[in-house]
């Protein structure tokens, strides 16, 4: 390992990822610490804890059977369903909230748990699927001989449980740190305060950074309590080192349960990805306006269509020229809807084209900025993450590697709102004003915030490599830097691609810190956030669809042209 390269990577990590958090510690005053023991804060903590546990529990209930079914059963289209199962994780949770709160009459805790549980279930599914593939077939055969199918499934469950719980712990952290979903749920229904929202209010409304940091401390402790065990769990069970003579496990034949299992997996995928994307498509074309009884009546030329279309009708007892309260339009039959369908679909397509034109006209620069910031953050995160991930696993003093791994967790454990506040405090000063207001500030912000994902993914990939490969390269005279990029990097290329795609996707959808830092305000996700709060026109849904495609693009390109599978497993 090159000491100079490693020291440079550590320095970059310290400046980009740790400094925004450490600089906030000095802002805490005694009065701020006193306020975090107030009854209101206790209630806030319990509400946030309920949100995290509910979302993690839902992610576990959906993710374990989903991951096991696509990895170890003869489920139809298992390979495709496994790949598509990552999509809900990459979609901005705000988009799920935008769509599901329209479709169901849920508010508050229930709506937030549903949305964030759907968003987090792929974490559990990914861990479960990978662990299920690492169960030695010899263990399954021995258990089956001793106790039948149930005994074999118990062996699977025991080895899959630790990684699955690690995925649930990550889903928990994602849920309790999310600001956008509870904020939007409160916007469309009764107020639902959680820690991340209150931290934002302490800074944005009360202008009290010390109080914002103080309120973050219980949440930070809660996140670390989930993340530290998750680090151990991710390498336990089926993720422990494989024994010699390992045999890949076979797939269970589901028999009569094959199609019910397929329906379950498809329903989970639909809830997390297909329904939200479909609803955005529907809104882009003005579906709520076009596919109504009033519009069907207009298309079919019914006599009462025109006044009803304006939301009013002339009552029989009303004086001439006066409008009485609107009468309810009879529900149109299926045959009438079919007859009106061509005209309705034409209107829908025309509205969709207009929405995309408007979206691009208004947000073209925001979209390009989002691409630039996300690409920059992904490149920085992968380069620094490869060096740090390799160092964590290859440092001669193992305790140093463990210590560095714990430090990497801090930006992940801190709420994104607090990270954004820290970036403002750190960089909004005269000597760094050029950087703070410049075009590279969002890249630094997103890269520092998301760097832990790249480090964890790549350290896990390096841990699975045989050290002897690097020793042989060293004996051949290959230097440490060249070994890292010509020996190690090609062997973990799938994980490098996964880290890049994940950081890129999360940077494209990063909202919680972006809404605080002025240089990051002019991005596509911030425009969507403002749009759903101030009008929700068709072009907002069109812009959301552009973001969805942008987030999925790296994975789609890799799947289409690369030979190695992409690994997004931390």
pLDDT reported for residue 334: 65
Max Cα-Cα span within the chain: 100
- Residues 274 and 416 both lie in one domain: no
Query: What is the chain's alpha carbon radius of gyration, rounded to the nearest angstrom?
Result: 26
Question: Does residue 306 belong to any structural domain of this protein?
Answer: no
**DSSP assignment of 365-396, as one string?**
HHHHHHHHHHHHHHHHHHHHHHHHHHHHHH-S
Whether residue 276 contacts residue 96, with contact meaning beta carbons closer than 8 Å, is answered with: yes
Shared domain check, 280 and 390: no
pLDDT along the chain (570 residues), means of 10: 81 89 74 68 82 93 93 88 87 87 84 91 90 81 82 84 88 86 78 74 62 75 82 65 68 87 93 90 81 72 50 43 48 70 81 84 85 91 89 72 79 82 83 83 89 86 77 78 82 85 87 81 84 74 85 75 65
**CB burial readout 204-227, b (16+ within 10 A) else e:** eeeebbbbbbbbbebbbebbbebb
Q: Are 19 and 43 in a shared domain?
A: no
Claim to verify: residue 1 and residue 51 sit in the same structural domain: no
User: Are residues 368 and 471 both part of a single domain?
Assistant: yes
| Of 284, 319, 344, the domain-final residue | 284
The reply to whether 373 and 414 lie within a common domain is: yes
In a domain, residue 323? The reply is no
Q: What is the pLDDT of residue 302?
A: 66
Q: What are the pLDDT digits (tens) for 180-221?
A: 888 888 776 677 777 777 777 666 655 566 667 777 777 788
Residue 91 CA to residue 272 CA, distance in Å, equals 9
Contact status, residue 169 vs residue 224, Cβ threshold 8 Å: no
Instruction: Please work out, in degrees rounded to the nearest 5, the angle formed at the alpha carbon of residue 261 by the alpha carbons of 259 and 263.
Output: 70
Are 1 and 119 found together in one domain? no
CB 384 within 8 A of CB 12: yes
CA–CA dist 216, 28 (Å, integer): 11
Q: Is residue 303 part of a domain?
A: no
19 lies in a domain? Answer: yes
Assess if residue 133 is contained within a domain.
yes
One domain, residues 399 and 540:
yes
Domain count across the chain: 2
Neighbours of 316 (CB within 10 A): 6
Please report whether residue 503 resides in a domain.
yes
Dihedral, 410, 416, 418, 424 alpha carbons, nearest 10? 110
Instruction: Give 454-497 pLDDT, tens digit per residue.
Output: 888 888 788 777 777 777 877 777 877 888 888 888 888 888 88
User: Is residue 460 included in any domain, yes or no?
Assistant: yes
**Are 10 and 120 within one domain?**
no
Domain of 102, in residue numbers: 36-239+257-284
**Are residues 2 and 94 both part of a single domain?**
no
* pTM for this model (two decimals): 0.82
Do 13 and 79 lie in a common domain?
A: no
For position 87, which CATH number holds? 1.10.3720.10
Which residues are bridge partners to 313 per DSSP?
Answer: 324
In this structure, are 41 and 16 located in the same domain? no
Has residue 345 been placed in a domain?
Answer: no
pLDDT for 316: 44
């Amino acid at each position: 390992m090159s000491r100079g390269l490693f020291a440079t990577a550590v320095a970059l990590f310290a400046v980009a990822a740790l400094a925004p958090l450490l600089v906030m510690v000095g802002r805490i005053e005694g009065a701020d610490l006193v306020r975090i023991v107030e009854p209101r804060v206790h209630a806030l903590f319990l509400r946030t804890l309920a949100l995290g546990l509910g979302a993690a529990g839902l992610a576990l209930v959906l993710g374990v059977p989903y991951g096991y079914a696509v990895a170890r059963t003869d489920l139809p289209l298992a390979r495709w369903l496994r790949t598509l199962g990552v999509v809900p994780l990459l979609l901005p949770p705000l988009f799920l909230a935008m769509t599901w709160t329209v479709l169901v009459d849920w508010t508050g805790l229930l709506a937030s748990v549903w949305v964030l549980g759907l968003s987090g279930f792929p974490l559990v599914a990914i861990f479960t699927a990978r662990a299920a593939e690492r169960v030695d077939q010899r263990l399954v055969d021995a258990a089956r001989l001793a106790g039948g199918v149930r005994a074999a499934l118990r062996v699977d469950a025991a080895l899959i449980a630790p990684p699955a719980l690690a995925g649930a712990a990550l889903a928990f952290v994602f849920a309790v740190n999310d600001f956008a979903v509870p904020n939007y749920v409160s916007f469309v229904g009764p107020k639902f305060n959680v820690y991340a929202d209150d931290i934002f209010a302490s800074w944005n409304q009360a202008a009290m950074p010390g109080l914002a940091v103080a309120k973050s401390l219980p949440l930070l402790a809660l996140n670390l309590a989930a993340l530290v065990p998750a680090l151990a769990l991710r390498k336990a069970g089926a993720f422990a080192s494989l024994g010699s003579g390992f045999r890949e496990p076979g797939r269970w034949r589901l028999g009569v349960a094959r199609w019910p299992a397929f329906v379950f997996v498809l329903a989970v995928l639909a809830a997390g990805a297909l329904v939200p994307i479909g609803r955005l498509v529907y809104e882009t074309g003005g579906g709520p306006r076009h596919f109504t009884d009033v519009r069907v009546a207009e298309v079919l030329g019914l006599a009462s269509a025109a006044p009803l279309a304006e939301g009013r009708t002339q009552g029989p007892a009303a004086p001439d020229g006066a409008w009485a309260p609107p009468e309810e339009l009879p529900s149109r039959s299926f045959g009438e809807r079919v007859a009106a369908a061509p005209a309705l679909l034409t209107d829908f397509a025309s509205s969709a084209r207009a929405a995309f034109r408007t979206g691009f006209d208004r947000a073209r620069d925001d979209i390009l900025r989002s691409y630039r910031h996300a690409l920059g953050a992904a490149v920085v995160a992968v380069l620094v993450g490869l060096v740090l991930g390799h160092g964590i696993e290859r440092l001669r003093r193992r305790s140093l590697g463990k210590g560095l791994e714990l430090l990497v967790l801090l930006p992940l454990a801190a709420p994104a709102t607090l990270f954004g506040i820290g970036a403002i405090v750190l960089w909004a000063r005269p000597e760094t004003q050029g950087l703070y207001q410049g075009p590279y500030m969002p890249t630094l912000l997103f890269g520092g915030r998301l760097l832990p994902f790249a480090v964890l993914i790549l350290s896990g990939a390096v841990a699975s490599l045989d050290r002897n490969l690097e020793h042989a390269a060293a004996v051949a005279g290959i230097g440490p830097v060249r070994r890292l990029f010509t020996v190690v990097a090609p062997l973990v290329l799938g994980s490098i691609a996964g880290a890049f795609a994940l950081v890129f996707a999360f940077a494209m959808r990063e909202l919680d810190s972006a809404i605080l830092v002025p240089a990051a305000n002019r991005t596509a996700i911030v425009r969507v956030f403002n749009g759903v709060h101030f009008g929700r026109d068709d072009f907002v849904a069109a812009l959301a669809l552009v973001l969805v495609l942008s987030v999925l693009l790296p994975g789609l390109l890799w799947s289409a042209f690369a030979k190695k599978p992409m690994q997004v497993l931390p």
